[in-house]
Amino acid sequence: MFKIELKTRLGHLIFIANDKQSLMDCADAAEIQIPSSCRNGTCRTCMSRTLGGRVRYEIDWPGLSAEEKAQGWILPCVAIACSDLKIENSNAYLI
């Protein structure tokens, strides 16, 4: 289990993620809404920035460029936590 701190424009939200489900599924379980559309890593609606920690993907290449990945951008709809994380998405909110 990993602690996820999500920075939004309204403050910080915290939820717990596991190493088997996407960050978005874990946020949903905690009643936190991260805006999304496709939930398969292509639309980029959920694109968020990692401020610390690591994620992995079960798909070969999510809809991010190498440069975006190097800058810390992730897609929570298909990203799986590998450690505690600090991420930023100004459009996320508590349901």
The per-residue pLDDT for 61 is: 74
Segment 62-72 shows an average pLDDT of 92
Band of residue 59 on the pLDDT scale cut at 50, 70, 90: confident
Q: Is residue 49 part of a domain?
A: yes
Domain with 64 in it: 2-90
Question: So what's the pLDDT on residue 60?
Answer: 79
Residue 71: the pLDDT is 96
Please state the pTM of the whole predicted model: 0.94
pLDDT band for position 53 (cuts 50, 70, 90)? very high
Q: 51 in a domain, yes or no?
A: yes
> What distance in Å separates the CA atoms of residue 72 and residue 67, rounded to the nearest whole number?
9
> Distances from the Cα of 51 to the Cαs of 39, 55, 75, 89, in angstroms?
22, 12, 14, 11
Q: What's the domain count of the chain?
A: 1
Amino acid at 74: I
Q: What is the distance between the alpha carbons of residues 12 and 87, in angstroms, rounded to a whole number?
A: 10
Q: What CATH number is given to the structural domain containing 85?
A: 3.10.20.30
95 domain-assigned: no
Cα–Cα dist 78/62, whole Å: 8
